[in-house]
């Protein structure tokens, strides 16, 4: 065979280019499914853009360029930046202590550090404000959202640390690197996808956070949009503010994409079949335990203690058993259905982004994040407008509410599925194709088992988010439908703390199993 001849490709395996890359071939069905998901996710963005165009450029400039917008922008940006920085430090530091040191009770700490996800941010705010009234403004908001969201960094970073090959660090040590230099030069780059994914989720969620910040009386774009709609019914002004949120979302997505780079993190094996050598804390054991203890006391002790206090204080009043039971079943049903739907829809988009990287696949994936940066009230109003004008039978139905949940929480599933796909070697799929398996069979028998932990973690995150979702549910739920979140808000809005406590406690209890599932799935994924 001459040097110009090339061996024939294996059956079912895409031909490689001279540079070793697979040509951009997008499976038609996967591409169609991903495009449909992206179109649905872009509905609120199209709604905001259309409304902005309809008011005209002069009016748009008048509504945006004013001191109030500058104040809201400053509040939103400094809260997001401060929260992401603190969550990155707390989440990464706690993950390192649990996964790479001789910290006593590591398994218990792992569960406790994920447990704050079971306490919704607005319940956390309720707990703090009801017992510490001065916990408001920027300081209170930064403290409470950090305590609510740091597990979104801890969880993926801890899973990434468990999955790292210890030989990488041993090689660095053999070359003379100190432990600190090894962490910065070897470990931290490997944690970049997990750290950036968690930070992106926190940033997008903060852009759309309403309940917690409204309780804390800290104005951001989201609270201002809600006030415009609810009090003054000023649609143009609210939509202009939503347009600024879309631009902030675009900046975040581009920044995350740039920082993530094009490095690949998958490997065929799990590396050396032994755990990494844990660093001995020695004299730092007590400070480490105290630090984690304070963190858990603030993140869990204050809100749960407040709930216990108000449940006890309101024990003299009759507990509304029937509304509690009805709203609990409704919340569980909506959460399970929405988590299943959202996780399924995330698969084709994430698969294209990881397995067929290119401008088209990246654009499809990025488009799914915009809905998460918009307040639930904007997403709900967009769907209401479209349903009334184009599909009247869908108005005031559970199906429309599930679509809203999908738009709002698709990134939670997307980040986990994409990370799982990035860490599953595509060569395994190539081998399955070479053995004669079609694409559907390969996905079912090879890819799906590999990404199952990430899929389960994403579904659990979506379930928790839906159970505690407020604004979209208030507008889109069919008449007579009450969830724990809407019942809680109706009482807490009138400062009826004792009446709100049972609904808040049930939200925590329902979210707890899904939160525990996150720890189980992440450990299973790391072992696999």
Helix (H, G, I), strand (E, B) or coil at 134: coil
pLDDT of residue 261: 60
In terms of CATH architecture, what is 35-261+286-527?
A: Orthogonal Bundle (1.10)
DSSP letter at 425?
-
* Range from 22-36, 130-144, 300-314, 422-436 carrying the lowest mean pLDDT: 422-436
pLDDT of residue 16: 46
pLDDT of residue 143: 94
Compute the average pLDDT of residues 388-399. Answer: 88
* Range from 107-111, 261-265, 458-462 carrying the lowest mean pLDDT: 261-265
User: Given pLDDT bands bounded at 50, 70 and 90, which one contains residue 494?
Assistant: low
pLDDT of residue 275: 63
Report whether pLDDT(363) > 80: yes
* Range from 368-372, 432-436, 453-457 carrying the lowest mean pLDDT: 432-436
Arithmetic mean of pLDDT over the chain: 80
Report whether pLDDT(520) > 80: no
Strands (E), 21-131: none
Q: What value, to the nearest 5°, has the Cα angle with vertex 417 and ends 414 and 419?
A: 105
Structure-token match 């649609």, residue found: 235
DSSP letter at 319?
P
User: Given pLDDT bands bounded at 50, 70 and 90, which one contains residue 221?
Assistant: confident
Residues contacting 182, CB < 8 A, separation 6+: 169, 172, 173
User: Given pLDDT bands bounded at 50, 70 and 90, which one contains residue 528?
Assistant: very low
**Residues 506, 327: Cα–Cα separation, whole Å:** 10
* Domain residue ranges in the chain: 35-261+286-527
pLDDT, one tens digit per residue, over 163-175 is 776 666 667 666 6
Q: What percent of the chain has pLDDT over 70?
A: 84
Q: Which residues of 106-120 are buried (b: 16+ CB within 10 A; e: fewer)?
A: eeebbebbbbbbbbb
* Range from 285-294, 359-368, 374-383 carrying the lowest mean pLDDT: 374-383
Other CB atoms within a 10 A radius of the CB of residue 181 amount to: 13
pLDDT, one tens digit per residue, over 399-453 is 999 999 999 999 888 888 887 887 777 777 777 777 777 777 777 777 778 788 7
């Amino acid at each position: 065979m001459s040097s110009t001849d090339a061996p024939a490709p294996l059956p079912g395996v895409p031909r490689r280019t001279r540079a070793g890359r697979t040509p951009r071939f997008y499976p038609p069905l996967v591409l169609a499914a991903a495009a449909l998901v992206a179109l649905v996710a872009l509905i609120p963005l199209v709604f905001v853009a259309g409304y902005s165009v309809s008011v005209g450029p002069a009016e748009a400039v008048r509504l945006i360029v004013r001191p109030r917008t500058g104040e809201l922008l400053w509040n939103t940006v400094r809260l997001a930046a401060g929260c992401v920085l603190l969550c990155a430090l707390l989440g990464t530091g706690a993950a390192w202590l649990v996964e790479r040191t001789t910290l006593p009770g590591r398994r218990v700490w792992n569960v406790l550090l994920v447990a704050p996800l079971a306490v919704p941010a607005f319940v956390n705010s309720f707990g703090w404000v009801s017992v510490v009234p001065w916990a408001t403004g920027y300081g209170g908001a930064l403290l409470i959202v950090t305590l609510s969201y740091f597990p979104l960094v801890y969880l993926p970073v801890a899973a990434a640390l468990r999955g790292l090959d210890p030989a990488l660090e041993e090689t660095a040590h053999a070359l003379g690197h100190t432990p600190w230099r090894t962490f910065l030069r070897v470990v931290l780059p490997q944690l970049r996808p997990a750290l950036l994914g968690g930070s992106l989720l926190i940033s997008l969620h903060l852009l759309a956070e309403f309940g917690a910040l409204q309780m804390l009386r800290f104005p951001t774009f989201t609270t201002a949009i809600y006030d415009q709609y609810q009090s003054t019914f000023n649609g143009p002004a609210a939509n202009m503010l939503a347009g600024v949120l879309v631009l902030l979302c675009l900046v975040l997505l581009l920044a995350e994409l740039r920082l993530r780079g094009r490095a690949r993190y998958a490997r065929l094996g799990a590396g050396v079949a032994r755990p990494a050598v844990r660093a001995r804390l020695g004299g730092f054991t007590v400070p480490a335990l105290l630090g984690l203890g304070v963190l858990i006391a603030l993140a869990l002790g204050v809100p749960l203690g407040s709930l216990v206090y108000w449940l006890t204080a309101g024990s003299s009043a009759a507990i509304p058993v029937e509304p509690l039971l009805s709203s609990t079943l409704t919340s569980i049903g909506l959460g399970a259905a929405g988590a299943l739907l959202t996780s399924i829809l995330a698969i084709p988009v994430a698969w294209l982004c990881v397995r067929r990287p290119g401008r088209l696949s990246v654009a499809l994936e990025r488009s799914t994040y915009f809905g998460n940066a918009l307040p639930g009230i904007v997403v709900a109003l967009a769907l209401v407008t479209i349903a009334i004008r184009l599909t009247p039978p869908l108005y005031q139905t559970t199906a429309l509410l599930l679509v809203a949940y999908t738009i709002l929480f698709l990134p939670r599933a997307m980040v986990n599925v994409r990370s799982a796909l990035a860490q599953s070697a595509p060569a395994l799929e190539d081998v399955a194709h070479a053995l004669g398996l079609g694409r559907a069979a390969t996905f079912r028998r090879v890819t799906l088992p590999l990404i199952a932990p990430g899929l389960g973690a994403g579904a659990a995150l979506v379930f928790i988010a839906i159970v505690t979702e407020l604004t979209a549910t208030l507008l889109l739920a069919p008449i007579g439908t009450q969830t724990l979140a809407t019942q809680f808000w109706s009482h807490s809005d009138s400062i009826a703390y004792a009446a709100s406590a049972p609904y808040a406690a049930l939200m925590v209890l329902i979210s707890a199993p899904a939160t525990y599932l996150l720890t189980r799935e992440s450990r299973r994924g790391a072992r696999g």
